[in-house]
A = this chain, B = another copy of it.
Amino acid sequence: MRYTIFGESHGPAIGVTLEGVPAGLALDWDFIRAELKRRAPGQDDTSTPRREADEVEILSGVFEGRTTGTPLCAVIRNTDTRSRDYSKLRDMPRPGHADYTGQLRYGGYNDYRGGGHFSGRLTAPLVFAGAVAKLALGERGVTVTARVSNIGGISDPTPEQARARILEAKREGDSVGGCVRCTVEGMPAGRGAPDFGCNVEGIFSQYLFAIPAVKGIAFGAGFGFAAMQGSEANDPFCLEGGAVRTATNHTGGVNGGITNGMPVEFEVVFRPTPSISKSQRTVSLSTMEERELVVEGRHDPCVVLRAVPVVEAAAALAACQVLGLD
């Protein structure tokens, strides 16, 4: 299942083209809409007030409610696109954003309005694609669940702690980062390979780093492995109901790049949203002078809560590749 996400924040539409979807999959629209709603902004005061209908239109690849197996194109029209003047961003790139790198990469031709193709809004079609992937995985007994594991430095926060930490940053005109921890259960053992391009960790990381603001990924005990000794880190084999399992899962379900039948577990870190209200230093590209910049507009003080279904979506697509679904 290969996907191509297209669209710009303020263009006509965003969407995704999915190739290699298994044929005959019943599209459960209640489920798909619920997934999109989990990601949608404007649900409370911790996220951007931008409201998006996120109505998905299927252009191809579905017939009589089921996937046909041919490329599936799904489109979400852009509606709430305030026509502010974004042209200042061309001259004075926002720190932490892709304004500057996008301009260099695309020779100044990219659509800079509202982040353009770099906008977090493009995670909506990713969640759609992930929902299709989850339906395909569900038929094979594989489930994907993620949760917030850190907000602004607080590990495993309660919802109240998370909300308080985000609103504290919001009051300061600032933002916070965090982590999401994800578990893929039901993956059969023996998938993947140690080689470049084939190992399970590498495959998952390709999908996860395609999410904007993800800056790191670690499996199982992750960076905690550095402080462990082998005798702690090694997962002892044991028998459970006659099946070979491991008593612990420090390795996150993968040994030598190959699934071992335990849940595939990983954590990703999100940088704080670069959009903040505080004054920041930047450079005017026209005059080549250092300047102060105050970014206006709607901000998301923390994307981590809304990122949970996005991480699940990327993980579901990765799991489909590991399983060779097609």
Residue numbers of A with Cβ under 8 A of B are 3-8, 11-15, 17, 19, 23-24, 57-61, 63, 66-73, 75, 93-98, 100-102, 104-111, 116-118, 150-153, 169, 172, 174-179, 189-197, 199, 201-202, 205-207, 209-210, 212, 214-223, 225-239, 242, 244, 246-247, 250-252, 254-260, 269-276, 278, 280-283, 285, 288-290, 324
Q: Are B210 and A202 neighbours in the complex by a CB distance under 8 Å? A: yes
Q: Are B179 and A226 neighbours in the complex by a CB distance under 8 Å? A: yes
Q: Are B194 and A117 neighbours in the complex by a CB distance under 8 Å? A: yes
Count copies of this chain in the complex.
4
Chain B, Cβ-Cβ closest to A206: B202
A244 to B99, CA, bound (A): 13
Q: Are B281 and A106 neighbours in the complex by a CB distance under 8 Å? A: no
A222 to B75, CA, bound (A): 34
Q: Are B218 and A101 neighbours in the complex by a CB distance under 8 Å? A: no
Q: Are B199 and A210 neighbours in the complex by a CB distance under 8 Å? A: yes
Q: Are B196 and A207 neighbours in the complex by a CB distance under 8 Å? A: yes
Do A227 and B152 form a contact, CB below 8 Å, given A59-B11, A218-B218, A251-B215? yes
Chain B residues, Cβ within 8 Å of A106: 23-24, 68-70
The one of B6, B19, B231, B239 in contact with A174, judged by C-beta atoms closer than 8 angstroms, is B231
15 A-B pairs besides A215-B221, A238-B281 with CB distance below 8 A are A7-B59, A11-B60, A24-B108, A69-B107, A71-B195, A96-B251, A118-B194, A215-B252, A217-B217, A221-B271, A222-B223, A223-B269, A231-B276, A237-B283, A250-B271
- Shortest CB-to-CB span from A113 to chain B, Å, is 8
Chain B residues, Cβ within 8 Å of A223: 179, 216, 218, 222-223, 269
Q: Are B231 and A278 neighbours in the complex by a CB distance under 8 Å? A: yes
Chain B residues, Cβ within 8 Å of A247: 281
- Shortest CB-to-CB span from A18 to chain B, Å, is 9
Q: Are A290 and B239 neighbours in the complex by a CB distance under 8 Å? A: yes
Do A153 and B227 form a contact, CB below 8 Å, given A73-B6, A244-B100, A255-B101? yes
